Amino acid sequence: MSEKELQKKKERKKLSLPIFIALAAVASISLTFFIKRLQEKPKVKPEADIIAAKVEKVPFNDPFSPLWEKVPSYSIPLTQQATVKPMKFTTPKDPLKVKAVHDGEWIAFLLEWNDTSPDIHTIKTKEFRDACAVLLTNYPAPPEAWFMGTKDYPATILHWKADWQMDIDEGFQDLEKAFPNLSIDMYPPMKEAIVRGKPPPTKDLPEEARAWMVGWKSGNPLSLPDKKSPVEKLIGIGPGSLTPLPTQDASGKGIWKVGVWRVVLSKKMKGSDSKEGEINLLSEKMYSVAFTLWSGHEGDRGSRKNPSMLKTLYIE
Partner 1 sequence: MPKVYNWQIGREMNYWYEQNRPKRQASAVFDTNKCIACQTCTAACKTTWTSGKGQEYMYWNNVETKPWGSYPMGWDAKVLEALGPQRWVKKGERYIYEGKTIFEAAPTTERVLGYLPNDLDYAYPNRGEDETDQPLIQEKFYLRLPHDLWFFYLPRICNHCTYPACLASCPRMAIYKRNEDGIVLIDQERCRAYRECVQACPYKKVFYNHVTRISEKCVMCYPAVEKGIWPRCMRTCIGKIRMFGFLNTPDKADPENPLDFLVHIRKVALPLLPQLGLEPNIYYIPPIHVSNNRFLHMLFGPYALQALESYKKAMNGEDMELVGALLLNVSTDRIMTKFKVLEGKEVVGYTENGHEAVRIPIKEPTIVRPFFDEGLKVYRHNIT
Residue 67 binds partner 1 (CB under 8 A): no
Give, for 26, the enclosing helix (H) or strand (E): helix 3-39
63-76 burial, b at 16+ Cβ within 10 Å, e below that, comes to bebebbeebeebeb
For the CA atoms of 188, 126, 235, 47, the dihedral, rounded to the nearest 10 degrees, stands at -160
**Is 209 among the residues that bind partner 1 (CB under 8 A)?**
yes
Question: Between residue 171 and residue 190, which ones bind partner 1 under the rule CB under 8 A?
Answer: 174-175, 178-179, 182, 184, 186-188
Binding residues for partner 1, rule CB under 8 A, total 45
> Whole-number minimum distance, CB 311 to partner 1, in Å?
24
213 binds partner 1 (CB under 8 A): yes
Asked whether the beta carbons of 22 and 287 are under 8 A apart, the reply is no
Residues 287 and 315: beta-carbon distance below 8 Å: yes
- Minimum distance from residue 182 beta carbon to partner 1 (Å): 7
Residues facing residue 132 across a β-bridge: 160, 293
Q: Is 31 in the site for partner 1 (CB under 8 A)?
A: no
**138: Cα within 13 Å, side-chain hemisphere:** 12
Dihedral Cα 294, 267, 110, 136, nearest 10 deg? -60
> Footprint of partner 1 on residues 251-310 (CB under 8 A)?
299, 301-303
Region 85-144 residues binding partner 1, contact defined as CB under 8 A: 85-89, 122-126
Residue 79 binding partner 1, by CB under 8 A: no
Q: Can you tell me the distance from the alpha carbon of 149 to that of 268, in angstroms, rounded to the nearest whole number?
A: 20
Given candidates 28, 83, 223, 280, which one binds partner 1 under the rule CB under 8 A? 223
Chain positions contacting partner 1, by CB under 8 A: 84-89, 122-126, 163, 174-175, 178-179, 182, 184, 186-188, 199, 202, 205, 209-216, 218-220, 222-223, 225, 239-240, 242, 299, 301-303
